Amino acid sequence: MNAIEFKKVSKQFGAFFANKDVSFAVAKASIHGLIGENGAGKSTAMKVLFGIHPPDLGEIWVNDQPVKIHHPIHAMKHKIGMVHQHFMLAENESVLSNIILGQETGRFFIDRKQAVSELDAISKKYELGFNKWNVPVSALSVGDQQKVEIIKLLYQKSEVLILDEPTAALTPQEVQALFVNIQKLKQEGNTIILISHKLKEVLKFTDSVTVMRRGEIVGTRKTSETNEDELAEMMVGRKISFTYQGERKVLANTSNLKPVLEVKNLSIAASAMTHEPLVDVSLALKPNEIVGIAGVQGNGQTTLLRFLSNPAAFSRKCSGEYQIQGKSALRETPLSLRHKGVGLIPEDRIAEGLLLHQDMVENFLLGQHQDERYLKHGVLQRGIAREQVVKKISDFDIRPNHPGIWTGRMSGGNQQKLVIARALDPNPKILLTAHPTRGVDVGAIEKIHDSIIRERNQGKSVLLFSAELDELIDLSDRILVFFDGRIQGEFARNEFDAWNIGRVMGGGQK
């Protein structure tokens, strides 16, 4: 019996087919992987299933019956639930309030006691080991927030759970725990659809897997009968490699070179501007070097990046020294730093990096609006910028390949490529890079990693913030691990080991 079946579903945005004749089936009580590059249409397919975008054509069958799902309420009626990549939780409300939100309809009074006992039963049944019902969501770790989302679906009696990139923000230890839970859900008869771009996870934890490319289904495989290479080839349409294969060029005598960026004894107290304090942080970045910054989210990395990219904003709130090319940079602004050769790829491309209701050209100009190539006599040279964007589109393989498209309509990976292309456009000597491949597909990851290594090989310096340990291990020359606002440990390339680094991230000693 199939829990879910897509029959020739199409969804069009403008002239662009986000889904075209999509057909696949998900067996009941199984874990089904849905993989594909960003923009391949997997998120769209799930949004169609969840009723956010009703399909233009085709049918969806639930439990072997055709159904109409035109609104998330319909989806919930058919016991379909979804955990979005960005959690949909009210941060200041308690876990209980978040879970029963939307379930109180038709009842005038909410019986909180009964809700708690139901939730305890769910937690016990699925062995989730969670009972912090009255704690505000903001006080929970990312892993626990995810549990809350899953419990919420179970409380709504969902039988089909869609998980969109569930491991994006988790430590290796948390990932392991999540998949134990998912196995338990399956044993209890639930069906799980796992959207992911991490082939290793998909291979390890799913029963079958469907691959999408450019809005269409490439094929469905039994997980036990396929392998990483085959899936990758299906996704990208060509053979790709998983660890960086290229040359790591070492310039002569880097040890004697002076650091281009140096931070000495930097402390920043928690304030309205930042919730993550920094305590006595010192680091140096030399040419021809990638320094990775590891750590569980919320341990000071965000503050460090904000400080490094806009020290003037912290002028009266920090102590310590910050130098670029040997000169104090405490008063620099983002624009003057750019002038001094610092490029920035911000943490959250949507919140900090893009104007979603503007086209690629306008976005390309952000931060470059005073670059003399693009600004003449106070007038922005859109034509020149547009030519550059066209060039970047082909250099970075950005899709859709039309500079006039709104960035809000682009997939995450392509948005990220645009942000990187913009950061590299003035040819910076120092690159501050945060989560360059977050939510980006395999094919694009390779290209992004390529471009970062290329910068390094040209003698540039890169400070790489990432939540993906594999990525840090792949790319960095050194890794600094942050915990509680301090540098908890430093690893040289020959000491790299995921479990060790993971332990230091959790506050342990090296």
Interface residues with another protein (CB under 8 A) are 10, 12, 14-15, 54, 56-57, 309-310, 333-336, 338, 344, 346, 351-358, 362, 365-367, 369-370, 375, 378-380, 382, 404, 406
Q: Mind spelling out the 3-state secondary structure of 282-333?
A: EEEECCCEEEEEECCCCCCHHHHHHHHHCHHHHCCCEEEEEEECCEECCCCC
CB count within 10 Å of CB 207 equals 16
CB 126 within 8 A of CB 178: no
Closest contact distance (angstroms) between CB of 366 and another protein is 5
Closest contact distance (angstroms) between CB of 347 and another protein is 9
Closest contact distance (angstroms) between CB of 353 and another protein is 6
Structure tokens at 304: 């460090």
Pairing of strands 261-268, 318-324: antiparallel
Structure tokens at 210: 């469907």
Residue nearer to another protein on the CB measure, 161 or 398: 398
Residue nearer to another protein on the CB measure, 12 or 63: 12
Rounded to an integer, what distance in angstroms lies between the CA atom of residue 212 and that of residue 195?
11
Residue nearer to another protein on the CB measure, 139 or 355: 355
The sign one gets for the Cα dihedral 327, 455, 197, 58 is positive
Residue nearer to another protein on the CB measure, 44 or 206: 44
Closest contact distance (angstroms) between CB of 364 and another protein is 11
Residue nearer to another protein on the CB measure, 110 or 366: 366
CB count within 10 Å of CB 453 equals 19
Closest contact distance (angstroms) between CB of 408 and another protein is 10
Question: Hey, what amino acid is at 216?
Answer: E
Residue nearer to another protein on the CB measure, 366 or 492: 366
No. of helices (H) and no. of strands (E), the chain: 16, 22
Q: Token match 């989806």: residue? A: 75
Closest contact distance (angstroms) between CB of 397 and another protein is 22
Pairing of strands 160-164, 57-62: unpaired
Rounded to an integer, what distance in angstroms lies between the CA atom of residue 35 and that of residue 200?
11
265: left (phi over 0), alpha (psi -120 to 50) or beta: left
Rounded to an integer, what distance in angstroms lies between the CA atom of residue 385 and that of residue 215?
30
Closest contact distance (angstroms) between CB of 443 and another protein is 26
Closest contact distance (angstroms) between CB of 392 and another protein is 17
Residue spans of beta strands (DSSP E) within 44-201: 57-62, 65-67, 80-83, 160-164, 191-196
Rounded to an integer, what distance in angstroms lies between the CA atom of residue 191 and that of residue 161?
6
Residue nearer to another protein on the CB measure, 344 or 481: 344
CB 141 within 8 A of CB 299: no
Closest contact distance (angstroms) between CB of 367 and another protein is 3
Residue nearer to another protein on the CB measure, 353 or 485: 353
Residue nearer to another protein on the CB measure, 325 or 381: 381
